[in-house]
Chain A
Amino acid sequence: MTKMIRIKKIILLLIAALFSVAVNAQDMTGLIMKVKAKLDQVSDYEADGKMKTDVAFIKAPVGKVKVYFKKPNKFRLKKDGGISLLPRGGVSVNMNSIITTADFIALAAGEAMVGGTKTKVVKLLPANENSDIVLTTMYIDEANLLVKKAVTSTKENGTYEIEMSYGAFGQFGLPDKVVFSFNTKDYKLPKGITLEFDDNEKELTEAQKIKNRKGRVEITYTNYLINKGMSDSVFK
């Protein structure tokens, strides 16, 4: 996807958002604040997780990760000694950091079903022009005050989508499973550089290529340790 198309898309989204403001001028800030309040119960947490990287051109095993969070927006994903492959800008794989953005405009954009749950669709527009995030669309389970899905468009890191499922730690707004989807560029290195001789690989069809361009990172969390206090040194 070229930058131009992406920009065009973002502009379109913005226009759509503004349009919905005009038609449906319902301020959703209240809902967001409620969600935020729920998240605010947690001042820090650490959790063990299993991370699975599903990108067409990546062959990686399931890895164990540890995530750390501390208010207001410190987040770190650590792989025990190993190497981890994350989507670019992937440290934002958590809701807290998205939602704690100080100033925003929240606009209602209807309702949608996400994973069998009815959700409110909310468009968040950061007030700060310098923010990397251009627009976040959130799908919020109003009854439980849980963000089920968020689609974020950024200036630098493209658009990515986060889907969350909740379990035992839903009461803290912490997901059991996060699926992070993002666009990937084509990957190909000349064989001269990788020093490969053979040419046996099948060329992918155009349809496959498009499908393959969507990358996914899936983290399944276990063992949340919440509000046990955390030193800042973890994030260095």
Chain B
Amino acid sequence: MLYYLMQPIVSVTGLTKQFANLTAVQDLSFSVQEGDVYGFLGQNGAGKSTTIRMLLSLIKPSQGQIRIFGKDLQTHRNEILAQVGAVIEKPDVYKYLSAYENLKLFARLSGVKVTETRLMDQLNQVGLLHRAKDTVKTFSQGMKQRLGIAIALVHDPKLIILDEPTNGLDPQGIADIRNLILHLSRDLKKTVIVSSHLLSEIEQVATRVLIIDKGKKIIEGNALELFDPSQTIVELQTFDNAAALTKLQHSQWQKNLQPQRDAAILVKLDRKEIAQLHRDLVAMDIALESLQPRHSLEDYFLQVTSGNQHVDTYTN
């Protein structure tokens, strides 16, 4: 893919949001290319929602710049938002109105001329046609979520932002959302930004992934690489981790080292390389206490993003 030739749909540079006594987002930069399903991963409170709200101009950044469709969000807000559809956290709509009324109301706000056929068609797509005239009060969480998606899509936006779309959904609902994202991306060629605190949701749909923690970027990369099932991470415990790390940093494994967590040394490698690593450790005279391969990246992700401290040693 020739990313560098394309103009990014979303380009964020140096984004920072300072609340009274909390830095929710710190110097965050990333870009989303046309056609991406951009996964946004982080623990609850990592700054995902704040970032997404800044993308939607709900929160004013303290610093940094957001450009969407090549235009500055601050100066071209309405122009940009006309091409953006969003579901933010819980899909809250007017409970005392019917699904149809809600959809119509938001469509009009988006500046779309709406026919009843068009609205009904939209409701049909999310499987709510039979409940179109019922007040939302009577809807299940999943139905509300689908209505929220219909609202986000009714004006045929180019960019769709889904903030924690699977929160509170049952497994079927989660699967529906996953299929919807794939449909939007593959069939309708939309650009999608989806955030979640669950890796499992992201890894199945995302083309690129950004992992943030405490408002800072941890890693951004191609999903195929990050989620390559042949790759794993082993956690090493030695009797002298500091010495061991120094030795590894000067070995051929240097490129496999991952940001360190607690005292453990993390090495990302192909499963087939584990035996070789073991032999090399012995050769380097590193007294091994344990060597534990992680089952998937999720463990690693969880560890990275839930800990209290990081060692600032990064490798690719």
Do A and B have CB atoms closer than 8 angstroms in the complex?
Answer: no
